[in-house]
Amino acid sequence: MNTEHYKQLLLAKQRELLDSIKRHENEARESRSAEVEDEIDRVISAEGQAANFQEATIEAQTLTLVEEALQRIENGTYGKSLESGEPIEPARLEAVPWAQYSLQEQEKLDRSATSAQELDSIS
């Protein structure tokens, strides 16, 4: 496996995420409206701020996965499922270079998570 190719993809994604996280955090901090604002302005400002922080949080989670994938390249375990140790499909790694599981294993994990959420909502 050509890990150098995937390393370059991951490094590019890392830079993109870092830039985007910084931009969202700055936009969230700057989303305060004029000093004289009514209640609706404050609500809109708060919603914009919350949306920017939420987006930054999601991107930070993805950044963690990207950095873990870079570490797996260094460790020589990149491209192998964390679940089974079997190879992750090359097409999957092209689409999601930070993938931790094969497509079949990821689908199984997603179904389990969905089932658990459905059980929680019933309780």
The DSSP call for residue 82 is T
Q: What is the total count of domains within the chain?
A: 2
What's the mean pLDDT when you consider all of the chain?
88
Domain carrying residue 110: 79-123
Residue 74 shares a structural domain with residue 108: no
Q: Give the tens place of pLDDT for each residue, 49-106.
A: 888 888 989 999 999 999 999 999 999 999 999 999 999 999 999 999 999 999 999 9
Residue 24 shares a structural domain with residue 55: yes
Residue 72 shares a structural domain with residue 84: no
Q: Name all contacts of 102-111 with Cβ < 8 Å and 24+ positions apart.
A: 105/81, 109/83
Residue 61 shares a structural domain with residue 3: yes
Per the CB < 8 A criterion, the answer to whether 103 and 95 are in contact is no
In the block, residue with structure tokens 């991951």: 10
Q: Give the tens place of pLDDT for each residue, 31-48.
A: 655 455 678 777 777 787
Report, in angstroms and rounded to the nearest whole number, the Rg of the chain calculated over CA atoms.
Answer: 19
Residue 26 shares a structural domain with residue 62: yes
Residue 58 shares a structural domain with residue 87: no
Which tokens in the block code for residue 57? Answer: 């949080």
